[in-house]
């Protein structure tokens, strides 16, 4: 327990641990001391937890903190290719659907319509899948 306290950087490094059946041999003053120490440890842990909850992040932290600034730059550079890919997929879907709407195909040209439909579906599915990755 003491090694863990030192490793975690806790100011409380002295703990009164009870070996085996020593509980019966302790007098009331010793028990009160243990209770007080446990209470202090609990209060210290609560203060640390409350302090960590009070910290709120903002968009300014991306600029202020070097680690977050570095990570934000890497992620924004990494996602640039996905935006272009998303625009290409949406453009493909829009182009195929527009051509299907404008040009009327007869019965003998139904293969062209089916081909445009498949490529339009490819564009829509690709854009839909990329939206999850991008966001």
Hunting for tokens 């339009």 — which residue is that? 120
pTM higher than the cut 0.85: no
Task: Tell me the three state secondary structure of residue 97.
Answer: helix
CA end-to-end distance (rounded Å), the chain: 44
Q: Where are the domains of the chain?
A: 2-54, 79-134
* Stretch 99-127: mean pLDDT: 86
**Residue-wise pLDDT tens digits, 86-98:** 899 999 999 999 9
């Amino acid at each position: 327990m003491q090694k863990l306290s030192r490793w975690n950087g806790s100011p409380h490094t002295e703990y009164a641990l009870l070996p085996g059946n020593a509980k019966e041999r302790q007098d009331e003053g010793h028990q009160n001391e243990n209770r007080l120490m446990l209470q202090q440890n609990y209060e210290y842990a609560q203060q640390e937890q409350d302090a960590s909850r009070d910290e709120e992040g903002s968009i300014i932290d991306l600029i202020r903190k070097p680690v977050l600034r570095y990570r934000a730059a890497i992620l924004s550079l990494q996602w640039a290719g996905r935006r272009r890919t998303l625009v290409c997929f949406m453009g493909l879907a829009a182009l195929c659907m527009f051509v299907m709407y404008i040009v009327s195909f007869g019965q003998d040209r139904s293969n062209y319509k089916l081909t445009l439909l498949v490529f339009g579906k490819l564009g829509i599915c690709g854009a839909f899948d990329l939206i999850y990755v991008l966001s």
